[in-house]
Structure 1
Amino acid sequence: MTGLEQVAILAAGLVAGILTSTVGVASLVSFPVLLAIGIPPVVANASNTVGLIPAGLSGSLGYRRELREQPRVTWSVVATCAIGSIGGAALLLCLPAGVFELVVPWLILFTCLIVGAQPWISRWLRSRHEDPDSLEPRTTMSPVTTFFAALTGVYGGYFGAGSGVMMMAVLGLGLDLELRVVNALKTLAVLAANVIAGLIFAFVADLDLTAVGLLAAGSVVGGYTGAHIGRRLPPTLLRILIVLAGITAAIVMLR
Structure 2
Amino acid sequence: MVLAGGREMVVERLAEGYLLREPRNRTDSAATATRPPAALSLRFLGDGTPTMLLNGRSLPLTLRLAELLTVLSLHPEGLTGERLGRLLYGDDGNQATVRGEIHRLRALIGTDVLTTRPYRLAAAVDSDFGSVRRALRVGRVEDALRACRGPLLPRSEKPEIRELRDELTAGLRGAVLEAQDVDLLHAFAGDPLAAGDLEVHERLVELLPPGDPRLGPVLFRRARLRRDWGLGPARR
Q: TM-score, normalised by structure 2?
A: 0.27
Larger relative contact order (C-alpha < 8 A, sep ≥ 6)?
Answer: 1
User: Whose strand fraction is larger, Structure 1's or Structure 2's?
Assistant: 2
- When Rg is computed on C-alpha atoms for both structures, the one with the higher figure is 2
User: Whose helix fraction is larger, Structure 1's or Structure 2's?
Assistant: 1
